[in-house]
Amino acid sequence: MQLLDGKALSAQVKAEIKIEVDKIKAEGGKTPHLAAILVGNNGASETYVASKIKSCEEVGFKSTLVRLPETTSEAELLTHIDALNNDADIDGFIVQLPLPSHISENTVMEAVAPEKDVDGFHPINVGRMCKGLPAYISATPFGILEMLKRYNIDTAGKHCVVVGRSQIVGLPMSILMQRNTAPGNATVTICHSRTHNLKEVCQSADILIAALGRPEFITADYVKEGAVVIDVGITRVVDESKKSGFAIKGDVKFDEVAPKSSYITPVPGGVGLMTICGLMTNTLLASKKAIFK
């Protein structure tokens, strides 16, 4: 069993981005600028946004955080999005999810200009990805592809099972893994809450990607010997033994599954760190007008 070390890989990717940003600055080019809109004070979202801002500093980006109260209306949020769409200094921006229940996430995703949609959620970017055209790839799937690539994991002809069909992870991941690229060329099965014989389907996977948001759902009896296991889940679970009062758990019961795996991602320290690298990479591409001219 080998760990897919997100901490080491993310440091490597960030170092590569910083070298390119330093070169752009030295040649008098524009400093890449990422903005984030945070509505309300969800604890997990606060943590994620703080991590993204810190990563911007590490790679030499400018960053802007727009904080809005929980009571912000959908119309008010759309006004802020329009302002960022029209701000020439902002190369890309994200609206941190989840949003308060009175705001439509789909409406918000569609309001972000596709050329600034560095989260890769806009239908135009999703459509371009499906057709194999240049697009901003959703940050988590991007991070997983980087892991597979940098660890030289062969995916061609393998059976990849994706558990979870979210617009953010499961759906794009299933499309990316079957594309005629490397990583890619896998035979993909996508599973969800209505899948019959879920355990048996997972047991057939050469590559198992768990993205269902249920802590430690995938146990050893879901995994065949030698499988590559990618754990996308990240859930706060009450744990009185911890100073914080909670522990971070993935969708995979790591201690049980790891001995059966050829490769496995830890939680924390796995996919989450690579997700931020995906966002940084997309912002760099946006600043260079590499996707939308």
Catalytic positions, written as ranges = 52, 96, 119
Q: Environment class of residue 111 by beta-carbon count within 10 Å: exposed (0-12), middle (13-18) or buried (19+)?
A: buried
CA distance 143 to 120: 13
Going by C-alpha positions, the residue among 1, 9, 291 that lies closest to residue 149 is 9
φ and ψ at 289, to 5 degrees? 55, 40
CA-based nearest residue to 52, from 35, 31, 30, 32:
35
Q: Assign residue 106 a region: left if phi > 0, alpha if psi is -120 to 50, beta otherwise?
A: alpha
Q: Which structure tokens are listed for 2?
A: 């080998």
